[in-house]
Structure 1
Amino acid sequence: MKKSSLIGIVVIAIAIAVIISTSSSASSYVTFDEAYALSENGKSSSIHVVGELKKNSAGEIIGVRPSQDRLSVEFILVDDNQKEQSVFLNSPMPSDLLESDKVVVIGAYRNNQFMADKVLLKCPSKYEETSL
């Protein structure tokens, strides 16, 4: 067998190994019910839930409670199935949380509460088209 063929096979094998290893850690967006089921079945991290902050009838955001020391925050997130869930983030409140259109929380259920490790925000002002 030629050296170039052997090198080609090794490169392909490495590429396949990388694809397999990254696909196992990939996560898709789920609802809170699906996230709870995943946690019950042993998945303990990296569950992505997308939703919006809870709003009252006037459209004002409610249910955001930073801790007294401002080192953590708890808020109510409404998923795509309209299920409300309290989410605890053990880090300071992101500065654009209250202006966000959509919020993605990454974490898992612990003791029947969703504990977020990370919060990703989509702010509408960054994506709106400006008129000239």
Structure 2
Amino acid sequence: MKTSHIIGIIIIAAAIGIIITTAGDASSYVTFDTAQEMALNGNENSIHVVGELKKKNGEIVGIRPSVDKLSFSFVMVDDNKKEQKVFYNEPMPADFQRSEKVVVIGSYKDDLFVAEKILMKCPSKYQENTVKAEM
């Protein structure tokens, strides 16, 4: 076998190893109940939970910024309507309160979900604006 063939086989094997490793890190959206169960079973990987901010009479409730405004906590409602307090150790994103859906990526620490990252879907980004011309 030629050296170039051996090098090619090694490169292909390395690529397959990288693909398998990254595929193992991928996760899907779960509910808070499933995330808590995963944490109790020793899963320390980041978990994706999708939901909405808690609202009462159309107003968002449950957002508590820290005194120094460098972190905050909020109440999120998942797709099964379970409410959960979420802590985020970063400042509140600019359009956070306008978001339609929120995805928190993190893990449970006791009964608190600690988010490492927050992804938001804001309605203004996805609504079609129509302009009417007057004659």
Question: Under a length normalisation based on structure 2, what TM-score does the superposition of the two structures give?
Answer: 0.90
Structure 1 position 128, deviation (Å):
1.4
Structure 1 position 74, deviation (Å):
0.9
Give the secondary-structure state (helix, strand or coil) at the position aligned to 2:59: coil
Partner residue, 2:12: 12
Partner residue, 2:78: 79
Please report the RMSD computed on the Cα atoms of aligned residues, expressed in angstroms.
1.3
The residue type equivalent to 1:128 in the other structure is Q
Give the secondary-structure state (helix, strand or coil) at the position aligned to 1:70: coil
Give the secondary-structure state (helix, strand or coil) at the position aligned to 1:5: helix
Count of matched residue pairs:
131
Q: Percent identity?
A: 60
Give unpaired runs (5+ residues) of structure 2.
none
CA distance in 2, matches of 1:68, 1:104: 25
Give the secondary-structure state (helix, strand or coil) at the position aligned to 1:93: coil
Partner residue, 1:26: 26
CA distance in 2, matches of 1:13, 1:44: 28
The residue type equivalent to 2:50 in the other structure is V
Alignment of 1:1-132 (within 5 A): 1-56=1-56, 58-132=57-131
Structure 1 position 94, deviation (Å):
1.2
CA distance in 2, matches of 1:122, 1:113: 23
Once the two structures are superposed, residues 20-51 of structure 1 have per-residue CA deviations (whole angstroms, 9 ceiling, x without a partner) of 11012112111000100111111224111110
CA distance in 1, matches of 2:7, 2:108: 45
CA distance in 2, matches of 1:76, 1:45: 22
Give unpaired runs (5+ residues) of structure 1.
none
Question: Under a length normalisation based on structure 1, what TM-score does the superposition of the two structures give?
Answer: 0.91
Structure 1 position 4, deviation (Å):
4.2
Once the two structures are superposed, residues 5-29 of structure 1 have per-residue CA deviations (whole angstroms, 9 ceiling, x without a partner) of 3333222211111111101211211
CA distance in 2, matches of 1:79, 1:120: 14
Once the two structures are superposed, residues 42-79 of structure 1 have per-residue CA deviations (whole angstroms, 9 ceiling, x without a partner) of 122411111000111x3111111111211111101000
CA distance in 2, matches of 1:3, 1:90: 52
Structure 1 position 129, deviation (Å):
1.6
The residue type equivalent to 2:40 in the other structure is E
Structure with max Cα Rg = 2
